Amino acid sequence: MRALMSLIVMIIVAGIGYWIYISNLKARGTNGSPARAISTVGVKSDLLSMAQAERMYQANHGSYASLDELYSSGALAARKPGRAGYTYSSGISADGFTITARCQPQAAGAACPSFSIDQTMQVQQIP
């Protein structure tokens, strides 16, 4: 009888843990989908790689470059036009850069957050 009660308690605790986990995923904008969470992490990683390439390019050339220039110069090895419903774009000025990953809801199949990064190397969610 004790073993049965222990099993029931364990099942209840596991159910509560699962509910909390799913609630946290939804609160972070992943809509509870593991694929969406993986895509979001991948996009943030891509932005960090692109920003690092911008910094290296600026150190070598004294100016920032567009994404196309980064690819053609070899600062970015693999061309990534986007990832799972996101498209990448960049804007440069004499004193900084901004790289944006815009969500394309029709391609992603659901609403998703857009992100940007600049010379501060901080990925931020944008509206």
| Residue 6 pLDDT level (bands cut at 50, 70, 90) | confident
C-alpha torsion 96→122→102→51, nearest 10: 50
| Residue 109 pLDDT level (bands cut at 50, 70, 90) | low
**pLDDT value, residue 27:** 57
| Residue 2 pLDDT level (bands cut at 50, 70, 90) | confident
The whole-model pTM stands at 0.69
| Residue 123 pLDDT level (bands cut at 50, 70, 90) | very high
Alpha helices in 33-123 (DSSP H): 34-61, 67-73, 105-108
Which residues, in sequence order, are CB contacts of 98 under 8 Å at separation 6+?
Answer: 90, 91, 116, 117, 118
pLDDT 10s digits, 17-66: 888 887 776 655 545 467 777 788 888 999 999 999 999 999 988 889 98
**pLDDT value, residue 98:** 94
- Helix (H) or strand (E) holding 25, with range, is helix 2-27
**For the chain, what are the domain ranges?**
1-32, 33-126
The yes-or-no verdict on residue 88 having pLDDT over 60 is yes
